């Protein structure tokens, strides 16, 4: 009956620490179906590798969720999503898509990729007013386009003498507000602007 099958599915699923939840899920699943041991071993290998290579392993947790589904049909294996505390949706995600490259090249190539929601990341950082871990003083100098090179050179010399911390010198975009928002995400907290003489 459908009701019993649904209840059985919910009984199988359970989020938690990735390793513990995976072992528990596989143990329950083996009571119902024949499960290839390699499937569990491969997932454990992924979890182990991610933890071993993470730059800040203590700053995140891995959760195994067998109910996770991503809406793209090209995935061929493990999928994942990235979430942040205090934000309901995901801020990124991806997975294996081994046959995608082969569709264009004629040769299947193992592949894994992901995307991040830049706007979501920017919103979270700005809402929390958090500083990046490596941030000290980061100043962005914005120069209006069309300025003659002699004045640009003079500005660069002044910056070289007076600047402290990390410095970025770049031309000013038409949408200066958006440009500054993007730079804030990268850790720039101070801005100086240089305009054409009107």
Q: What is the pLDDT of residue 11?
A: 62
> What string of pLDDT tens digits covers the 198 residues of the chain?
567 766 666 666 555 678 888 888 888 778 777 888 888 898 899 888 888 877 676 777 888 888 888 888 888 889 999 988 777 888 999 999 888 888 888 888 889 999 988 888 887 877 776 555 555 688 999 999 999 888 988 898 888 877 777 889 999 999 999 999 999 888 888 999 999 975
Question: What separation in angstroms does the CA of 65 have from each of 126, 138, 193, 194?
Answer: 29, 39, 48, 51
> pTM for the complete prediction?
0.55
Q: What is the pLDDT of residue 93?
A: 92
* CA angle, residues 115, 121, 124, in degrees to nearest 5: 155
Angle between the N-to-C axes of helices 2-12 and 18-30, in degrees from 0 to 180, rounded to the nearest 10: 140
The answer to whether residues 188 and 170 touch, using CB atoms and an 8 Å cutoff, is no
Q: What is the pLDDT of residue 15?
A: 59
Structure tokens at 42: 């491969």
């Amino acid at each position: 009956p459908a009701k019993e099958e649904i209840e059985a599915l919910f009984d199988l699923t359970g989020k938690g620490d990735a390793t513990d939840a995976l072992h528990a899920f596989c143990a329950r699943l083996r009571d119902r179906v024949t499960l290839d041991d390699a499937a569990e071993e491969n997932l454990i290998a992924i979890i182990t590798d991610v933890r071993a290579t993470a730059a800040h392993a203590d700053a995140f947790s891995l959760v195994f969720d067998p109910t996770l589904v991503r809406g793209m049909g090209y995935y061929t294996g493990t999928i994942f999503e990235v979430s942040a505390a205090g934000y309901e949706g995901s801020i990124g995600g991806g997975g294996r898509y081994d046959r995608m490259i082969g569709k264009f090249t004629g040769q299947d190539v193992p592949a894994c990729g992901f995307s991040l929601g830049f706007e979501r990341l920017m919103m979270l950082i700005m809402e929390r007013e958090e500083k990046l871990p490596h941030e000290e003083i980061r100043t962005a100098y914005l120069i209006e386009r069309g300025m003659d090179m002699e004045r640009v050179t003079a500005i660069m010399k002044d910056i070289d003498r007076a600047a402290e911390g990390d410095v970025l010198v770049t031309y000013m975009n038409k949408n200066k507000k958006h440009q500054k928002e993007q730079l804030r995400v990268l850790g720039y907290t101070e801005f100086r602007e240089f305009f054409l003489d009107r």
